[in-house]
Amino acid sequence: MNKQHTLQQFDNELEEIRTKLMKMGGQVEEMMKFSIVGFATGNTAQLKEVLEMEHRVNALEVEIDEICNNVIAKRQPIAYDLRFLVASLKMIRDLERCGDEAEKMARSAIRFYEAGPAVAPRMDFSAMSAHVTSMLHRALDAYAREDSEALVEIIHEDKIVDDHFRNTIRLLISYVLEDSRTISRSIDLLFYAKALERIGDHSKNMAEHVVFMVKGRDMRHASVSDAA
């Protein structure tokens, strides 16, 4: 739904917002990748890079927020253009929180590996990580392509992620009951899994913002069929 405006500058401003938001999304995706790979391999140097990347995500949030607010004040947009700007403002909030959660994942993984030799539960987060990574990428792609139908698949994956998280809690409880020496490391793993699950929630939020942007429908308390 690429609309042309009387003022070419207005079009340029809207495109700048879209481009910067996708750049911010790319940074968050990279943070997630580093947190996931760093945890899987025990590469604490890679995990510590995530902590530095989080500052860049925060800076982009502030920059995009300022541009959106300036455009709203200066152009007084209506209809789709206003929804695009409002949705973009909401998107960057969720993206910033995804960045925060990726940082929490990295910190939890660092604590896990820097604790030294200790009894540690064996956990495989590969399936859960794959689904959350897919959700985030789908949400960003939906924003770029103005695809309101992506929400249905994202909600489906969110339910799968929730199941993985519940299974993680059950496994960690069983480990702790069997051997109290696993308590400290289990807590780190629980924080890691919770941060991963929260990124999935924020990805679902972003897909809902896209539906609002494209169709003007508030999906927060609506049936997913309304997005179709």
CA angle 58, 59, 63 (to 5 degrees): 120
- Residue-wise pLDDT for 172-190, tens only, equals 999 999 998 889 999 999 9
**Is 56 within a domain?**
yes
Give the structural domain span for 74: 8-227
Using a cut of 0.85, tell me whether the model's pTM lies above it. yes
Neighbour tally for 50: CB within 10 Å = 24
Residue 88 lies inside a defined structural domain of this protein: yes
Total tally of structural domains belonging to the chain: 1
Alpha helices in the chain (DSSP H): 8-41, 44-75, 79-114, 126-145, 150-178, 183-215
Could you report the per-residue pLDDT of 9-44, keeping only the tens digit for each?
888 999 999 999 999 999 999 999 999 999 999 999
Residue 3 lies in a domain: no
- Which CATH number does the domain housing residue 129 bear? 1.20.58.220
Instruction: Evaluate whether residue 2 is within a structural domain.
Output: no
pLDDT at 2: 47
Whether 1 maps to a domain, the answer reads no
Q: Which residues of the chain have pLDDT under 50?
A: 1-4
Rg for the chain, CA atoms, rounded: 20
User: Is the residue at 102 inside a domain?
Assistant: yes
pLDDT attached to residue 221? 59
Q: What is the rounded distance in angstroms from the CA atom of residue 46 to the CA atom of residue 61? A: 23
The amino acid at 28: V
State residue 122's pLDDT score: 82
Task: Report yes or no on 104 lying in a domain.
Answer: yes
Per-residue confidence (pLDDT) for residue 225, from 0 to 100? 56
pLDDT of 158 reads: 96
In a domain, 142, yes or no: yes
Handedness of CA 77, 80, 82, 85 (dihedral sign): negative
pLDDT at 121: 83
